[in-house]
Homo-oligomer: A and B are copies of this chain.
Amino acid sequence: MNDDRLARYAKLIVEVGANVQPGQYVLVTADIAHAPVVRAIAERAYLAGAGRVDVDYADRHVRRSALLHAPAESLTTAPAWELARLHECEDVGAALIRLTGNPDPHLFDGIDPARIAAAPLEFVSESRRIVLGGKVSWTICAAPNAGWAEQVFGEPDEERLWEAVGVAMRFDSPDVVAAWRAHRLELKARAEALDALDLDAVHYVGEGTDLTVGLLAGCRWSSGSMTTEAGVEFMPNLPTEEVFTSPDRRRADGTMTLTRPLVMPRAGVLVEGLRVEFAGGRIVDVHASRGEDAVKAELGSDEGARSLGEVSLVDGASKVRAAGVIFHDTLYDENAGCHVAWGQGFPMTIEGGTGMAADELFERGINRSSVHTDVVIGGPGVSVEGQTRDGRTVPIIKDDTWVLATA
């Protein structure tokens, strides 16, 4: 551990990621293996004027006992106090910081995938509503640890993982906060250029991939930045290299083949060699050389799991790509290339969406699910074209390079 690096990382998370405001309530959600990063965040958040910093530490070994032995209903419900905490965060306009970086990715190996995929649906749905509702600021970032390093490198070399994370996080910049503010502006320019095209569909083409996904009229592209109702700008993901939107859940056809391994966000199961077939907006077939059961269990978890909630554009200039490793963590790996996600969509991608009820959003074409799983289909050799409503085809990414002009 390098204390100076930890402190700079915490400053980035607090000032740019969650953008903690004076007096604000901060809730950090992390694994106990993330303690060094959690502690640096807590210290930095108080220095930024936080009114209180609470940490909700999880322990995957305790979770394992629950997966093995708990009554089924306790896997699909949350205690009332946990919902009360979520609502209190909304009421007071909290800053939510969630850390990823799985310290033991094989801990759930051999456990029934259906139990792993079980989730407290009401809680998950309220949680999504609140983080997208404009009251809270939030960010997800990673905490390097020995177990995660072992997954990436085959040995628990935490320092090597910190170096890779450092490339993706632009730690080499003399002022890392300023570097991220500049990067955010570049992504914003890409999103604005896409919005100006008023696309009807995007078409991903590469080896094993020929996928066309329909877009909603008037949908907006997001970059790595959101703003609360109170006007506080924050970055939901650190790092981020993408511009993305929610597609029309009813329109996706063709095939996609993943260009990176996937670690299922909830189950922690590694999936390799995944190929997915779409017809009429739904996933109709799935093959994988590893982890196929876990994917199928998740796709069966609710009605919306088989439709897309996100399409995303990333080119080869990605700093996550530059790090040169497979991180085995969606937060990082999705940013290594173009990707899509099955499951829950984003209300803010349509006009007035954040104020709409879930039913109305669904009616308009924004997908609804308790899951949201990003899968990377971009990389060298992959191109993306846009199809405009007036029938033109516009190149956006050509062989992994962004080609659409930005302001």
Residues of chain A whose beta carbon lies under 8 Å from any beta carbon of chain B: 23, 25, 32, 35, 38-39, 42-43, 46-47, 50-55, 57, 59, 61-62, 65-66, 68-71, 74, 79-82, 84-85, 88
Contacts and interface: CB of A to CB of B under 8 A. Distances in A.
A42 B32 CA distance: 16
15 contacts: A32-B32, A32-B35, A38-B62, A39-B62, A39-B65, A42-B61, A42-B62, A43-B69, A51-B71, A53-B70, A55-B57, A55-B62, A57-B59, A80-B84, A81-B88
A52 B70 CA distance: 6
Contact of A52 (B35, B50, B52, B79): B79
A53 B61 CA distance: 12
B80 A65 contact: no
Given A39-B59, A53-B66, A81-B88, 20 more contacts: A32-B35, A39-B61, A39-B65, A42-B61, A42-B65, A42-B66, A43-B65, A46-B66, A51-B74, A52-B74, A52-B79, A53-B70, A54-B79, A55-B62, A57-B57, A79-B85, A80-B84, A81-B81, A81-B82, A84-B85
The secondary structure that dominates the A interface is helix
How many copies are assembled? 2
B46 A61 contact: no
Contacts of A81: 81-82, 84-85, 88
A222 to B, nearest CB: 30
Which 9 pairs across A and B sit closest by C-beta, in order of nearness?
Answer: A46-B69, A81-B85, A57-B57, A39-B61, A84-B84, A52-B74, A42-B62, A32-B32, A43-B65
Given A46-B69, A84-B84, A59 B51 contact: no
Contacts of A53: 62, 65-66, 70
A69 B88 contact: no
B70 A51 contact: yes
Nearest to A32: B32
A35 B59 contact: yes
A109 to B, nearest CB: 17
Contacts of A69: 43, 46-47
Contacts of A47: 69
A54 B82 CA distance: 11
A25 B23 CA distance: 34
Contacts of A82: 81
A35 B61 contact: yes
Nearest to A89: B81
B59 A46 contact: no
Contact of A88 (B23, B61, B80): B80
A211 to B, nearest CB: 41
A88 B52 CA distance: 23
Nearest to A67: B46
Contacts of A85: 79, 81, 84
A23 B82 CA distance: 19
Nearest to A61: B39
Contacts of A65: 39, 42-43, 46, 53
A387 B46 CA distance: 55
Of A39, A55, A57, chain B has the most CB atoms within 10 Å of the CB of: A57
Contacts of A57: 32, 55, 57, 59
